[in-house]
Amino acid sequence: MKRTGTTTGDILCLNGGSSSLKFALYRMSGDAEVRLANGAVERLGLPDGRFWLRGPERDILTDASLESRDHRDAVRQVFDALDKHGVSTPAAVGHRLVHGGPDHAAPQRIDAALLAALRRLVPLAPLHLPSELAVIDAVADHFPDLPQVACFDTAFHRSMPPLAQRLPLPRALESAELRRYGFHGLSYEYIVGVLGAAGTGRTIIAHLGNGASLVALQEGHPVDTTMGLTPLGGVVMGTRTGDLDPGVLLYLMREKGYDARRLERLVGTESGLLGISGITSDMKTLLARRATDPRAADAIAAFCYSVRKHIGALAAVLGGVDMLVFTGGIGERAAPIRWEICQGLEHLGVQLDSRQNAGNATTISAPNRACTVRVIPTNEDLMLARHTWATLRAFREGSPSP
């Protein structure tokens, strides 16, 4: 592999899940941001694994069955595939880290001290951080001299008012760690950039995917969000409960013998759409079965009700809403879900145009309504590339990281 020059740089963006590794490669310069490739290694540790890779025009370069033992194996396969297709060695690797804790509110170059700090944060995101750290370790094992940068999903929300960050716990338990953090920050940051001056009013962004949250913005800055200490709270999600009466957990501990590990599995991987439907966490499948399976209909209704209720709560925080933005896989592509969520929000000035909504148009609100409703595809990978490139250049120039 050949290296790019100092005025341009290829940034490899990695997003490690518990059983997958998603990636994208961007060529960054002062003049352009070009995606060279993207893909994923799926179903890690299983014999029916899959590896796919697309080129700059979304052309399929590779789509094959490929067993990957673990994240270390997956990282090697990504670099080998890029090398095979003549892609230059990246100048740096950027990682999406779901949790930065109280001390990490900006992208940072990864070193031993940061890794040690992140390992101490695993209890705050046990479903996410272990796999993300495994990817960092794998890159370091394979390419010890390759700079790596951590970009934190919690960083965007760190400017929320103290009241919105406070948990209703005794002061004796107050600590830097126990607070409401908020997540999906890279996604929200991208959407704010797309909105520009149009997003300076009272705005609510709904990032709806397998993981889902909402944020309230005033003048482009976060004032509240639906997730809290961990990515488990807020709206009903694919496999996560969202907000849950803590008494439910106490009951299960006392009466059913649940321990912490069993509760963690319940609220993180067995509940939400999957738990209510008993079928799947995949919204597309649930929509296809809604008319014939009441369990699918129940799951969809619970999801839409939860999101609608949280929109109302965030509108109360803002004193109204001027713009509602849908993003994320469900938010961008599931027109029936957007429609159902917005039914009953007329008192906030929300009314959709049925044709525009069905066509996933950029603006889906009816004309002359108090609240503009938009659909904006997010791009967390591009935010990773931007932050990583800026951090790398700052390091090379001897200035502090942004």
Catalytic residues: 153
3-state helix/strand/coil string of the chain: CCECCCCCEEEEEEEECCCEEEEEEEEECCCCEEEEEEEEEECCCCCCCEEEEECCCCCEEEEEECCCCCHHHHHHHHHHHHHHCCCCECCEEEEEECCCCCCCCCCEECCHHHHHHHHHCHHHCCCCHHHHHHHHHHHHHHCCCCCEEEEECCHHHHHCCHHHHCCCCCHHHCCCCCCCCCCCHHHHHHHHHHHHHHHCCEEEEEEECCCEEEEEEECCEEEEECCCCCCCCCCCCCCCCCCCCHHHHHHHHHHHCCCHHHHHHHHHHCCHHHHHHCCCCCHHHHHHHCCCCHHHHHHHHHHHHHHHHHHHHHHHHHCCCCEEEEEHHHHHHCHHHHHHHHCCCHHHCCCECHHHHHCCCCECECCCCCCEEEECCCCHHHHHHHHHHHHHHHHHHCCCCC
Write down the residue that tokens 């990246």 correspond to: 90
The widest CA-to-CA distance across the chain, in whole angstroms, is 63
